[in-house]
Protein backbone atom coordinates (compact mmCIF):
# COMPACT_ATOMS: atom_id res chain seq x y z
CA UNK A 1 0.00 0.00 0.00
CA UNK A 2 1.39 3.36 -1.04
CA UNK A 3 1.84 5.78 1.85
CA UNK A 4 3.21 9.33 1.99
CA UNK A 5 3.86 10.94 5.37
CA UNK A 6 4.81 14.60 5.73
CA UNK A 7 6.70 15.97 8.73
CA UNK A 8 8.58 19.09 9.79
CA UNK A 9 5.79 21.62 9.85
CA UNK A 10 5.25 24.10 12.65
CA UNK A 11 4.78 27.68 13.79
CA UNK A 12 7.59 30.10 12.92
CA UNK A 13 8.13 33.83 12.61
CA UNK A 14 8.51 35.81 9.43
CA UNK A 15 11.95 35.38 7.93
CA UNK A 16 12.48 31.94 9.45
CA UNK A 17 13.28 28.65 7.73
CA UNK A 18 11.71 25.20 7.88
CA UNK A 19 12.43 21.90 6.19
CA UNK A 20 9.58 19.59 5.34
CA UNK A 21 10.10 15.88 4.73
CA UNK A 22 7.94 13.40 2.87
CA UNK A 23 8.62 9.75 3.66
CA UNK A 24 7.31 7.38 1.01
CA UNK A 25 6.63 3.68 1.43
CA UNK A 26 4.85 0.88 -0.36
CA UNK A 27 6.83 0.86 -3.58
CA UNK A 28 10.05 2.09 -5.17
CA UNK A 29 9.51 5.81 -5.67
CA UNK A 30 12.77 6.39 -7.49
CA UNK A 31 11.01 5.78 -10.82
CA UNK A 32 8.38 8.48 -10.38
CA UNK A 33 8.28 12.25 -9.98
CA UNK A 34 7.18 13.82 -6.72
CA UNK A 35 5.81 17.21 -5.77
CA UNK A 36 4.75 19.59 -3.03
CA UNK A 37 1.45 21.43 -3.01
CA UNK A 38 -0.12 23.68 -0.40
CA UNK A 39 -3.59 24.78 0.55
CA UNK A 40 -4.48 27.81 2.62
CA UNK A 41 -7.89 28.14 4.33
CA UNK A 42 -10.61 28.94 1.82
CA UNK A 43 -8.29 28.57 -1.15
CA UNK A 44 -7.66 25.89 -3.73
CA UNK A 45 -4.67 23.58 -3.51
CA UNK A 46 -1.76 25.15 -5.36
CA UNK A 47 1.50 23.87 -6.77
CA UNK A 48 4.71 24.65 -4.88
CA UNK A 49 7.53 22.51 -6.30
CA UNK A 50 8.20 19.26 -8.14
CA UNK A 51 11.19 17.03 -8.77
CA UNK A 52 11.78 14.48 -11.49
CA UNK A 53 12.33 10.80 -10.84
CA UNK A 54 16.11 11.06 -10.91
CA UNK A 55 16.19 14.30 -8.96
CA UNK A 56 17.95 16.24 -11.69
CA UNK A 57 14.97 18.30 -12.80
CA UNK A 58 12.94 20.68 -10.64
CA UNK A 59 10.02 23.04 -11.09
CA UNK A 60 8.86 25.85 -8.82
CA UNK A 61 5.90 28.15 -8.48
CA UNK A 62 6.88 31.77 -9.10
CA UNK A 63 5.84 32.66 -5.55
CA UNK A 64 8.51 30.41 -4.00
CA UNK A 65 11.27 30.53 -6.59
CA UNK A 66 14.56 31.55 -5.00
CA UNK A 67 13.28 30.81 -1.47
CA UNK A 68 12.29 27.14 -1.56
CA UNK A 69 14.37 24.16 -2.68
CA UNK A 70 13.03 20.68 -3.41
CA UNK A 71 15.29 17.64 -3.23
CA UNK A 72 15.02 13.90 -2.78
CA UNK A 73 16.98 11.04 -1.25
CA UNK A 74 16.44 8.26 -3.77
CA UNK A 75 17.90 5.53 -1.63
CA UNK A 76 15.63 6.26 1.32
CA UNK A 77 12.48 7.32 -0.56
CA UNK A 78 12.37 10.74 1.09
CA UNK A 79 11.60 14.09 -0.51
CA UNK A 80 12.45 17.39 1.15
CA UNK A 81 11.30 20.98 0.86
CA UNK A 82 13.71 23.53 2.29
CA UNK A 83 11.79 26.76 2.90
CA UNK A 84 13.69 29.98 3.58
CA UNK A 85 12.59 33.58 4.12
CA UNK A 86 9.11 32.47 5.11
CA UNK A 87 6.30 34.98 5.23
CA UNK A 88 2.64 34.94 6.33
CA UNK A 89 1.65 34.24 2.72
CA UNK A 90 3.32 30.83 3.06
CA UNK A 91 0.92 29.75 5.80
CA UNK A 92 -0.89 26.63 4.58
CA UNK A 93 -1.16 22.89 4.85
CA UNK A 94 1.61 21.40 2.74
CA UNK A 95 1.01 18.12 0.90
CA UNK A 96 3.41 15.80 -0.89
CA UNK A 97 2.31 13.80 -3.89
CA UNK A 98 3.54 11.23 -6.37
CA UNK A 99 2.24 9.70 -9.57
CA UNK A 100 1.95 6.40 -11.42
CA UNK A 101 3.37 8.01 -14.55
CA UNK A 102 6.45 9.93 -15.52
CA UNK A 103 7.07 13.33 -17.02
CA UNK A 104 9.95 15.76 -17.24
CA UNK A 105 7.69 18.60 -18.31
CA UNK A 106 6.92 21.25 -15.70
CA UNK A 107 3.58 21.98 -17.29
CA UNK A 108 2.46 18.47 -16.40
CA UNK A 109 4.15 18.28 -13.02
CA UNK A 110 2.46 21.48 -11.83
CA UNK A 111 -1.08 20.12 -12.09
CA UNK A 112 -2.90 18.38 -9.24
CA UNK A 113 -4.52 15.94 -11.69
CA UNK A 114 -1.14 14.48 -12.62
CA UNK A 115 -0.74 12.90 -9.18
CA UNK A 116 -2.27 9.66 -7.92
CA UNK A 117 -1.13 9.54 -4.31
CA UNK A 118 -1.22 12.22 -1.62
CA UNK A 119 -0.06 12.56 1.95
CA UNK A 120 -2.21 13.83 4.83
CA UNK A 121 -0.47 17.19 5.00
CA UNK A 122 1.69 19.19 7.39
CA UNK A 123 0.65 22.55 8.79
CA UNK A 124 3.01 25.48 8.33
CA UNK A 125 2.09 28.71 10.07
CA UNK A 126 4.16 31.86 9.71
CA UNK A 127 3.43 34.71 12.10
CA UNK A 128 4.13 38.32 11.21
* pLDDT value at residue 112: 95
Q: Average pLDDT of 30-57?
A: 94
| pLDDT at residue 30 greater than cutoff 90 | no
Q: Decide the pairing of beta strands 117-118 and 92-98.
A: antiparallel
Sequence-separated (6 or more) residues with CB below 8 Å from residue 27: 2
pLDDT digits 0-9 by tens, 55-84: 889 999 999 999 999 999 988 999 999 999
Residue 27's pLDDT is 80
Amino acid sequence: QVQLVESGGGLVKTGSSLRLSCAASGRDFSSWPMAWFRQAPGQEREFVAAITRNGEGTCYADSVKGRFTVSRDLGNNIMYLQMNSLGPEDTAVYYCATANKNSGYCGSLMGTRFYDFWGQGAQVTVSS
